Amino acid sequence: MIRDILPPDTGWRREILGKIVRVFERAGYAEIVTPTFEEYAVLSAGLPEHLQSASYRFFDHQGVQMVLRPDITTQIARVAATKLAKQKGPLRFYYSGDVYRVSGLEIGQNHQFHQIGVELFDVPGVSGEREILTLAEEIVRSVGLRDWRIEQTNAGKIQRLPAKQRAALQQQDFVTLGRLPRLSELLSVDLEYYTGLYFECFVPEMGYILGSGGRYDNLCAAFGRKRPAVGFAFNLDKLARVLAAQGRK
């Protein structure tokens, strides 16, 4: 769906964004702005398969293939591995912007939707993960979401499973696995991206997730410099819809 956002929804979204940004800034995260479109050959080095095929691409006036960003994390990883390669970590960034994906990837997904999130570089292991999880919890509290849940799993562990089991788990096919799932196995992890912790935030009454995140230590390496990284993003459109449904408007 492509749509216009009109008042009073615009004001309502602005209010939610304002609350989230205040939490980010208090936690020491600085805003980063990346381009809406950029050269496909550059960004695709770090884009997982499913985002490559879901991206809008076009040629610029010189015949260079460009991509409308389907994801902002990949762009920030590019910056951290190139322009800021020499800057000593930890680096803390937040972003707020629209991303573009062809439909059908997820239900309730518009072609253009707003992501707001953070990336933390150079804090490896549990301490980085704890910081990010705490921040995600602070976000859902700050916007007044009710009955929220954050469930986590270990993508790194899934990566090490035999190929057939890994594929079945990614398709959520427990018939092939021959047993009923454990709770942590119900998180559909994108294994091209995540290397360790992976978590999802949702509310019981909605059939889709509101935000997700985790550790992605290999993404920066795709752009030339290995840097441990962990982060998350919330989908503003879905967050606004759920908050409205919960009567928080």
d(CA 98, CA 94) in angstroms, rounded, equals 14
- In the bound state with other proteins, the residue whose beta carbon lies nearer, of 37 and 208, is 208
Could you list the residues that contact other proteins (CB under 8 A)? 106-108, 149, 151, 171-176, 180-181, 183, 186-188, 200, 202-204, 206-209
User: Is residue 70 helix, strand or coil?
Assistant: coil
Pull the structure tokens for residue 120. 């933390």
- In the bound state with other proteins, the residue whose beta carbon lies nearer, of 16 and 201, is 201
Q: Shortest distance, CB of residue 209 to other proteins, whole angstroms?
A: 6
Q: Shortest distance, CB of residue 208 to other proteins, whole angstroms?
A: 6
Q: Shortest distance, CB of residue 161 to other proteins, whole angstroms?
A: 17
DSSP state of 84: T
Report which residue type is found at 49.
E
Contact present, 120 and 92 (Cβ < 8 Å): yes
- In the bound state with other proteins, the residue whose beta carbon lies nearer, of 17 and 177, is 177
- In the bound state with other proteins, the residue whose beta carbon lies nearer, of 26 and 149, is 149
d(CA 37, CA 99) in angstroms, rounded, equals 10
Closest listed residue to residue 235, CA positions, set 199, 216, 198, 208 = 208
Pull the structure tokens for residue 101. 């994906």
Q: Shortest distance, CB of residue 175 to other proteins, whole angstroms?
A: 5
Q: Shortest distance, CB of residue 58 to other proteins, whole angstroms?
A: 27
Rg of the chain over CA atoms, in angstroms? 18
- In the bound state with other proteins, the residue whose beta carbon lies nearer, of 2 and 183, is 183
- In the bound state with other proteins, the residue whose beta carbon lies nearer, of 24 and 202, is 202
Pull the structure tokens for residue 15. 């209010």
d(CA 244, CA 213) in angstroms, rounded, equals 23
| Residue 107 CA neighbour count, 13 Å, CB half | 4
Report which residue type is found at 222.
A
Q: Shortest distance, CB of residue 61 to other proteins, whole angstroms?
A: 36
